[in-house]
Amino acid sequence: MQEYGDGETLPPLRIGVAGLGNVGATLVRILQKDGAELTKKLGRQLVVTAVAARSRSRDRGIDITNLDWFDDPVALAKSEGIDLFVELIGGEDGPAFAAVKAALEIGRPVVTANKALLAKHGLTLARMAEESGAQLGFEAAVAGGIPVIKTLREGLGSARIAKVFGIMNGTCNYILTRMGNEDISFADCLKDAQALGYAEADPTFDVEGFDTAHKLSILATLCFGYEIAPDKIRVEGISRITQHDIKVAADLGYKIKLLGIAQRTDDGIEQRVHPTFVPKGSAIAGVDGVMNAVALETDHVHELLLAGPGAGGPPTASSVLSDILDIARGTRVPPLGVPSHELMPYREAPMRAHEGGYYIRLNAKDVPGALAAITTRMGERNISIDSVIQRSDLSAKAVAPDGSPTRTVVMITQQTLESSVRESLAQIAADGFIVGEPQLIRIETL
Amino acid sequence: MQEYGDGETLPPLRIGVAGLGNVGATLVRILQKDGAELTKKLGRQLVVTAVAARSRSRDRGIDITNLDWFDDPVALAKSEGIDLFVELIGGEDGPAFAAVKAALEIGRPVVTANKALLAKHGLTLARMAEESGAQLGFEAAVAGGIPVIKTLREGLGSARIAKVFGIMNGTCNYILTRMGNEDISFADCLKDAQALGYAEADPTFDVEGFDTAHKLSILATLCFGYEIAPDKIRVEGISRITQHDIKVAADLGYKIKLLGIAQRTDDGIEQRVHPTFVPKGSAIAGVDGVMNAVALETDHVHELLLAGPGAGGPPTASSVLSDILDIARGTRVPPLGVPSHELMPYREAPMRAHEGGYYIRLNAKDVPGALAAITTRMGERNISIDSVIQRSDLSAKAVAPDGSPTRTVVMITQQTLESSVRESLAQIAADGFIVGEPQLIRIETL
């Protein structure tokens, strides 16, 4: 048993796994099944020696009878019987946080797939890891099976990143893809996604964009060298997307995707999560179903796109394992890309001029002068309208509170400031020519 | 100046660069300009101390007056004044091979962007590196700015790869993309590509698929653990692709891409390079222009797609730099993914049943019974024809040697064996009903 390149014999790496859900059980299975092949690759044996979970007796399709059992993940994290602690419990606080801290405090390397934990406590944990000399891996925390953390921490050489954006939530992408392929409403599609296990019973966290925001905040720190700031993100989900939006997008040559976008500006960092029109022929538009993708725009590399499965036991376990292999090899990288004392305090950019146009869908009262009044208000804010689309086949049959019929109007603007669009819409609402909340979707040329 | 996580002070890493073309000059510029930022990230200084190139006086936009100059790259590789040797000379033999060997022999780490060198001598070089304990990095050798080597060597955990395929030549992808967007012939498009610097004066190596084959052979070894076998690849280029092919592909919902494909089969490894029909909506179809992409199909991660710039000074230099950073950090990975003595002797799979159909374009004599005779021959080999397409607007106005007019016939087959298609075409040619060489393009569902 030799490490590559020198004569030293390395002892087996003893791994403790806390959390035996889908990912944890898959990881244990892979390590038990593919152990010999991994040893060949690595020159060092990897052995799961201990586990912690809620139920000892649950059938997970793996044999844990020969492993040390812990009811308390903190006790496992501190146990003398392991060299590396894997946290797959989940949750931003509670036992996951306590156990990860306990391991890092004593200089024990940690691998976690927990994006909520990283978004909230990543800076604290990175500092602890640096102080005690422990490694902290979290490849699986963002975009499941896609090696985006490694690419950002190690793979881009000197490339200075200007913008990162991506599809980071499989639930949303599944729903939007199906809505694009079939004439099905958001609500019905969500029900199917829940039945298929692609969406949680309470889907808010996914469909309203918060999960994407967590992941984006971690990527933004690795990209730009600022402290993690999950609370400085404008977040908008997909629950208000209708078939009307999807179909007009298709007519115009776009697909709608929920993107997380972070970019470096002269005034600081801009982070946002929202549904976006992306051009149909673009690589990111081809990322469908439960797939994820992350695109990086750099000074040197132009654009790099990484696409793959964003969730699921095997892809996520494979990412956890790639962190384990790095630690077994002795690879040393600061958890957040640069030593944490080099991270800059977060600087939030004011919402800047959005480069690209807007899709605006309104329910306008079907009365003479309504459209003229609406477009006049937009003209007052210097918003140029590229096209006005009225598709009677898609138009919702609504009636205003005053009894007048309404028709759905879609306007596509040229490049303009988001603030101008929002101000003009507020005035249009005050004028009384529209009913309900307008739909506003950004168009990105990418 | 401290390495992350321990108290040890590391001396600056002294770098010698052989070859100051576009990539070499860009690398020196980045190291001179971004040195401070890299030092912050790495905790260790990177300094170019010496260079070798053909002309000392040529203006490259960088200041080399303070660097040690070598006329002979081998002397630079062995010089006491450097800790790491970067080979950017190119060529599969000659000074590049001699210099890389000279460095590895004395245990000095090497970074190279030279795919031809790796395809031909990769195994020899990996063995030398392992014997002397030197690291050997070649991220830039495949798909320029895309971190595919790192992903394969380190990033996929346990994932067992079943298939790798990709667009690995920017010249070909530029030509095929333009032919898809404009009504322009291969020959005219190639001329433009040459004028724009996207194609060499002698374009054979690129457009006939040999460059893709070199890269594929390196990826196949990293994916499957067999010795590198660049000579065991069926290679077909794009020079026979016509507007007819492009337009029929578009009608049927496909784009034509030059793919390198390697896959693991029960009978060994299959490696091939050829133009391919790929479905328009797929992520790889969205990879246009000079962009490259590599897709990995694994047992655990399903499909992973990495897309980005395949060439150009800055992206390639950035990949070279990511190897330099890894070496500066002390990362240790076997050059070919597993220790070279663990690589299996190459086992070539017989060309197996191609999963998917074929596009066949023929110039058939416009005489009664021709089509019946052709389709009968195909039926004899159990080839099911999905559709027969005759677009008179695209049909070449050709005349057979016997004076009879011809018309272009396109047939799309259902899934069948390539050997059956080739045998039936040989018989059809012998029957005398077609003129010229048929065009045969594989359809991949991906």
Query: Over the stretch B303-317, which tens digit does the pLDDT of each residue have?
Result: 899 999 888 888 899
CB-based contacts of A197: which residues, under 8 Å, 6+ apart?
none
Residues of chain B with Cβ-Cβ distance to A4 below 8 Å are: 130, 332-334, 339
Contact B144, B319 (CB under 8 A): yes
Residues of chain A with Cβ-Cβ distance to B30 below 8 Å are: 157-158, 300
Task: Kindly identify which residue of chain B lies nearest to residue A130, measuring between CA atoms.
Answer: B5
Strands (DSSP E) along A335-433, which ranges?
358-365, 385-389, 406-413
Q: Which residue is listed with tokens 């100059």?
A: B69
Which of A 127-146 lie inside 8 A of B, CB atoms? 130, 133, 135, 139, 145-146
Contact B16, B85 (CB under 8 A): yes
CB-based contacts of A298: which residues, under 8 Å, 6+ apart?
A156, A159, A160, A161, A162, A304, B318
Residues of chain B with Cβ-Cβ distance to A299 below 8 Å are: 314
Average per-residue pLDDT in chain A? 91
Class of domain A13-137: alpha beta
Residues of chain B with Cβ-Cβ distance to A7 below 8 Å are: none
Give the number of other CB atoms < 10 A from CB of residue A445. Answer: 11
Residue at B48: amino acid letter: V
Q: Residues A246-281: pLDDT tens digits?
A: 999 999 999 999 999 999 999 999 999 999 999 988
What is the model's pLDDT at position B8?
55
CB-based contacts of B207: which residues, under 8 Å, 6+ apart?
B171, B172, B175, B190, B199, B237, B238, B239
Task: Kindly identify which residue of chain B lies nearest to residue A7, measuring between CA atoms.
Answer: B133
**Phi then psi dihedrals of residue B190, to 5 deg:** -60, -40
Residues of chain A with Cβ-Cβ distance to B299 below 8 Å are: 314
Contact call for A151 and B154, based on CB within 8 A: no
In terms of C-beta density within 10 A (0-12 exposed, 13-18 middle, 19 or more buried), how is residue A105 classed? middle
DSSP single-letter state for residue A65? T
Residue A55, pLDDT > 70, answer yes
Taking the C-alpha atoms of residue A322 and residue B151, their distance in angstroms, rounded to an integer, is 10
Catalytic position from the list B215, B232, B257, B365: B215
Residues of chain A with Cβ-Cβ distance to B34 below 8 Å are: 158, 160
Of B6, B157, B332, the CB nearest to A4: B332
Contact call for A150 and B154, based on CB within 8 A: yes
Taking the CA atoms of A92, A97, A98 and A99 in sequence, report the sign of the dihedral they define: positive
DSSP single-letter state for residue A399? B
Give the number of other CB atoms < 10 A from CB of residue A55. Answer: 8
Task: Kindly identify which residue of chain B lies nearest to residue A127, measuring between CA atoms.
Answer: B5
What is the model's pLDDT at position A1?
35
In terms of C-beta density within 10 A (0-12 exposed, 13-18 middle, 19 or more buried), how is residue B242 classed? middle
Contact A228, A119 (CB under 8 A): yes
> A106 CA to chain B: closest CA distance, Å?
14
Nearest alpha carbon to residue B174 among B285, B291, B260: B291
Catalytic residues of A, which ones? Answer: 215
Q: Does A282 touch chain B (CB under 8 A)?
A: yes
**Cα B76 → chain centroid:** 29
Strands (DSSP E) along A65-122, which ranges?
68-70, 84-87, 110-112
Q: Does A159 touch chain B (CB under 8 A)?
A: yes
Asked whether the ipTM of the predicted complex exceeds the cut of 0.90, the reply is: no
Taking the C-alpha atoms of residue B415 and residue B442, their distance in angstroms, rounded to an integer, is 10
Task: Kindly identify which residue of chain A lies nearest to residue B3, measuring between CA atoms.
Answer: A332
β-strand pairing of B46-52 with B13-18: parallel
Q: What is the mean pLDDT of residues A98-108?
A: 98
What is the model's pLDDT at position A132?
97
> B230 CA to chain A: closest CA distance, Å?
23
Taking the C-alpha atoms of residue B129 and residue B102, their distance in angstroms, rounded to an integer, is 11
Domain range summary for chain A, segments of one domain joined by +: 13-137, 148-310, 358-443
Q: Which of B15, B26, B132, B301 to mutate to test the interface with A (most CBs of A within 10 A)?
A: B301
Give the number of other CB atoms < 10 A from CB of residue B398. Answer: 14
Contact B113, B320 (CB under 8 A): yes
What is the model's pLDDT at position A356?
78
β-strand pairing of A406-413 with A358-365: antiparallel
pLDDT confidence tier of residue A396, bands split at 50, 70 and 90:
low
Residue A2, pLDDT > 50, answer no
Structure tokens at B232: 């065991």
What is the model's pLDDT at position B1?
35
Structure tokens at B411: 């047939």
> B256 CA to chain A: closest CA distance, Å?
14
What is the model's pLDDT at position B7?
46
Residue A312, pLDDT > 90, answer no
Residues of chain A with Cβ-Cβ distance to B157 below 8 Å are: 30, 317-325
Residue at A24: amino acid letter: G
What's the CATH architecture for A148-310? Answer: 2-Layer Sandwich (3.30)
Contact call for B314 and A299, based on CB within 8 A: yes
Which of A 9-68 lie inside 8 A of B, CB atoms? 30-31, 34, 37-38, 40-41, 43
What is the model's pLDDT at position A7?
46
Task: Kindly identify which residue of chain B lies nearest to residue A29, measuring between CA atoms.
Answer: B158
Residue A301, pLDDT > 60, answer no
What is the model's pLDDT at position A6?
47
DSSP single-letter state for residue B19? -
User: What DSSP letter does each residue of B407-439 carry, written as one string?
Assistant: EEEEEEE-SB-HHHHHHHHHHHHHHT-EEEEEE
Residues of chain B with Cβ-Cβ distance to A302 below 8 Å are: 145, 308-309, 312, 315
Q: Measuring CA to CA, how many Å separate B202 from each of A166, A387, B132?
A: 39, 48, 39
Taking the C-alpha atoms of residue A271 and residue B150, their distance in angstroms, rounded to an integer, is 28
Of A301, A309, A342, the CB nearest to B308: A301
Of A284, A304, A315, the CB nearest to B302: A315
Q: Which residues in chain B come in under a pLDDT of 50?
A: 1-7
pLDDT confidence tier of residue A354, bands split at 50, 70 and 90:
low
Residue A229, CB half-sphere, CA atoms under 13 Å: how many?
22
What is the model's pLDDT at position B354?
62
Structure tokens at B417: 């064996």
CB-based contacts of B193: which residues, under 8 Å, 6+ apart?
B171, B174, B175, B199, B203
Contact call for A4 and B319, based on CB within 8 A: no
Angle at B194 between CA B193 and CA B200, to 5 degrees: 120
Taking the C-alpha atoms of residue B395 and residue A261, their distance in angstroms, rounded to an integer, is 47
What is the model's pLDDT at position A353?
60
Task: Kindly identify which residue of chain B lies nearest to residue A306, measuring between CA atoms.
Answer: B306
What is the model's pLDDT at position B348?
93
Q: Does A147 touch chain B (CB under 8 A)?
A: yes
pLDDT confidence tier of residue A3, bands split at 50, 70 and 90:
very low
Q: Residues B139-190: pLDDT tens digits?
A: 999 998 899 999 999 988 767 899 999 999 999 999 999 999 999 999 999 9
- A22 annotated ligand-binding residue: yes
> A42 CA to chain B: closest CA distance, Å?
7
CB-based contacts of B308: which residues, under 8 Å, 6+ apart?
A301, A302, A303, A304, A305, B143, B144, B145, B146, B291, B292, B293, B315
CB-based contacts of A262: which residues, under 8 Å, 6+ apart?
A163, A164, A165, A216, A219, A220, A223, A224, A269, A270, A271, A272
> Where do the H-state alpha helices sit in A106-197?
115-132, 148-150, 170-181, 186-195
- A115 annotated ligand-binding residue: yes
Long-range contacts of A345-350 (CB under 8 A, 24+ apart): A345/A226, A345/A227, A346/A226, A346/A227, A346/A228, A346/A229, A346/A232, A346/A268, A346/A269, A347/A226, A347/A267, A347/A268, A347/A269, A348/A229, A348/A232, A348/A268, A348/A269, A348/A270, A349/A265, A349/A267, A349/A268, A349/A269, A349/A270, A350/A267
Q: Which of A318, A331, A340 to mutate to test the interface with B (most CBs of B within 10 A)?
A: A318
Q: Does B321 touch chain A (CB under 8 A)?
A: yes
Which of B 160-219 lie inside 8 A of A, CB atoms? 160
> Can you name the CATH fold of A358-443?
Alpha-Beta Plaits (3.30.70)
DSSP single-letter state for residue B20? -
Q: What is the mean pLDDT of residues A110-127?
A: 97
Residue at A375: amino acid letter: T
Q: Measuring CA to CA, how many Å separate A299 from each of A2, A154, A376, B314?
A: 41, 16, 41, 8
User: What DSSP letter does each residue of A414-435 carry, written as one string?
Assistant: -SB-HHHHHHHHHHHHHHT-EE
Residue A368, pLDDT > 90, answer no
Contact A51, A17 (CB under 8 A): yes
Q: Measuring CA to CA, how many Å separate A231 from each of A92, A213, A272?
A: 14, 9, 11
What is the model's pLDDT at position B6?
47
